[in-house]
Amino acid sequence: MTQRWLAERRNEYYYRKAKKLDYRSRAAFKLLQIDERFRLFEEGDKVLDLGAAPGGWLQVAVDLVGPEGRVVGIDLKSVKPVEGASSIVGDIRSTESMRELRRLLGGKADIVISDMAPNISGAYSTDHARSVELCEYCLAAADSMLREGGRLIMKVFQGDLMNGLRLDTERRFDNVKVHSPDASRKTSSELYIIADGFRGSDVEEIEDEVEEIKPEFTKKGTFL
């Protein structure tokens, strides 16, 4: 049995499992495994999911935070509605989208999760640089939308800019770890930065009247 054959069998396993359990993506298992290990979600949490399509992480987050929680996502692509969550089509780099997310969340998030990935060019260093750029936007989103003490899960493609990104994360959070869940493809260069103890930010908050809207949340389901 070759390594490649084993890796393919493993990927196939998660793909089938996702189908069977009705998850939109095999990525759902990565989030489940990350939470199993780091216990990052709490009941009643407000969750901001960046790069949410097709919705696997939204499904998992809804179950983890329960009926008192709130889960809001954004993606460039539209997400088929997930019961208990709301999402918008938009670009994380746009202030307008940030404003809309803030309005939907009805306050600051307890946890920001990002599985964002750039369009893959196939050129390793380009894809790495674009992934790090998305992570920097994710940190900027945390600056304006994460509460003090809040938590972060953020995907990045490995490469030489990783140290700088880690430092940028460490400047903001008390605890930072880098982790590769078992459900990530063995051939993949992706890693997850896991952080808690957000120190808060001096960044001016997006001035907005935060409407206390209550979307229809019908169903729903500790540390480093």
Ligand X SMILES: C[S@@+](CC[C@H](N)C(=O)[O-])C[C@H]1O[C@@H](n2cnc3c(N)ncnc32)[C@H](O)[C@@H]1O
Q: Kindly tell me which residue out of 25, 86, 87, 184 binds ligand X, with binding defined by CB under 6 A.
A: 25
Site string for ligand X, 138-177 (x = CB under 6 A): ----------------------------------------
Reference 169, options 206, 135, 203; nearest CA is 135
Q: What is the pattern of x (binds ligand X, CB under 6 A) and - over residues 76-115?
A: xx-------------xxx---------------------x
* List 14, 24, 38, 47, residue binding ligand X (CB under 6 A): 24
Check binding of 117 to ligand X (CB under 6 A): yes
Determine if 28 is a binding residue for ligand X (CB under 6 A).
yes
Active site residue 17: no
Can you read off the two tokens belonging to residue 77? 């692509």
Say whether residue 181 binds ligand X (CB under 6 A).
Answer: no
Short-list 179, 160, 168, 165, CA closest to 201: 168
- Measured from the CB atom, the residue of 80 and 214 that comes closer to ligand X is 80
CA distances from 51 to 88, 93, 213 (A): 10, 12, 23
Q: Is the peptide bond before 54 cis (omega within 30 degrees of 0)?
A: yes
Please state, as a whole number, how many other Cβ atoms lie within 10 Å of the Cβ of residue 122.
6
Whether 104 contacts 213, CB under 8 Å: yes
Please report, as residue ranges, which positions from 38 to 77 form the binding site for ligand X (by CB under 6 A): 51-57, 74-77
Beta-bridged to residue 154, according to DSSP, are 114, 193
**Residue 21: how many CB atoms within 10 A of its CB?**
11
Which lies closer to ligand X via its Cβ, residue 6 or residue 123? Answer: 123
155, 177, 219, 220: the active-site residue: 155
Whole-number Å distance between alpha carbons of 37 and 126: 31
Q: Report the interface residues with ligand X, using CB under 6 A.
A: 24-25, 27-28, 51-57, 74-77, 91-93, 115-117, 134
* Catalytic residue IDs: 155
